[in-house]
Structure 1
Amino acid sequence: MLKPDATRLEVWGDPVAHSRSPQLHAAAYRALGLNWTYERRRVTAAAFTGELAGLSDRWRGLSLTMPLKGQAFHASAQRDRRAELTGAVNTLLLTDDVPRGFNTDVGGIVRALGDEGVHEVDRGRIVGAGATAMSALVALSELGADRVEVVARRPAAVAPLARLGTTLGLEVIGVSFDAPVHTDATVTIATLPGDAEVPPAAADALARSGGLLFDVVYGHWPTVLASAWERAGRPATSGLGMLLHQALLQVRVFVTGGTEDALEGESLVLAEMHSAVVGD
């Protein structure tokens, strides 16, 4: 049972000063009429276990960003399916008898793509093979993809994604950035950092067959890939939608105990969260 007197929340990570989570969550709780606090704290990987153990029963939950998602996974006594598949927890609910972990990044991607009119994917592409790529692969699987091309600098980095693909029942094909031909994709999910360097020729080749570009970056826009998509006359969108929707799912967790039940007045809550980070 959720503890009604647990009202403290934070986002932890290293670095964390750039996080927009406090604005998003504060807007949501104002809209819901909840007098909860949500702040940020720089927590290193080495300090995570001690910081978590030091929390009192006033704490409702935590949002986790890099490099803490793996440690939050191991700290969770129970996890949702998306967390189990990806090995990553970005949301810890602390109001039950044991910590419960959730991955709301997957749902954030699915819901954001839905906003762009993408409700079904046949063949997808992921650029990058880091931790976010795992969530992107699960999201593409949930949208029906049976084949996903993963573009990565190091072929060995694709191996964990290939294993996850086997679990999900889809084919994962690893290719290099300088591949001369890429398979046509309904959507390309770019998971690279905003300042990542991509050779212009490689970016242009990806754009020619990439469908919609969904770039998880939202602070460095346009990215190199987004510029290539623009040159090709193809649609591209930033990761702002993912940011909003993964945060909304976190709010669901903290309010209802899970991601499935909608909030009261959820459309208004989402609009307030949107305004908090981009304005009217």
Structure 2
Amino acid sequence: MHILLTGATGFIGRRLAARLRADGHRVVEAVSPRHGPPGPDQCVVDFARDLAPGVWLPRLQGIDAVVNAVGVLRDSPRQPIAALHRDAPIALFDACVQAGVRRVVQISALGVAQGDTQYASTKRAADQHLLGLAARAPSGGAAPLSACVVRPSVVFGRGGASSALFMNLTKLPVLVLPQPVLTARVQPVAVQDLADAVAVLLGSAMDRQGVVEFAGPQAVPMAGLIASLRAQCGHRPARVLPLPGPLTRLSARLGDLVPASPWCSESLALLGSDNTADAAPLQALLGRPTVAYGDLVARAWSRSP
């Protein structure tokens, strides 16, 4: 197929582009104006400003499917989270209906259905809008839109901000973390498992619609995940201390002031609650076992491009 991929230069987008091309699809990468002149099979889009369906229609000519992999952790003047997660995707999805695009896959996140953070609420709004479009009867004999919202748990691999944070923590002999983060359970998903699953949703599982939750094979408390990553790197166990609540909130607010920091109020809210789901759907879609958290360094970090 002829696929438009947004967020193509990001952590997940790069893997998706390579995987989809390996399947023989032609991928047009939607790239930010900050990346300079577009190369072959690239087009320039600005998710902060491209907020009307009419802006997207010329880019969708001849496009069979769209994958939206745009995501940011925090709000900023240059990357307003409401525009990037909600307004631009909604405009894109509306344009897909008008242009007759057959298939849309939205990369969301596990936990956004209940979360009240900016990240969760904006992602949820775009998810719900897309699903509403797919449920609506088409007019004028047009083919219905086929839509799937993918909600993975923490995605792990080289190039991911949260992955880099975890790997940096493994180097510390004494680990001081907020109590909610220490005890919250996650089911990490290797980035290549995610990319392979999206490829299936654009291939043999094209008829799969609605929300699909992706989770790794095992749930583990965050402290256990970091301890496992540390052991996988050949380090001895670290001493783990809980950070008092007032200092936790202060550290997150200080992180809010540092745009490049992966630690902020949004990440505290996201990492401080359980992020788990049934592991079966992802394994069934792939038709093979997925990467366990005990193998992430060898199979998702060391092998990631």
TM-score by length of 2: 0.35
TM-score by length of 1: 0.38
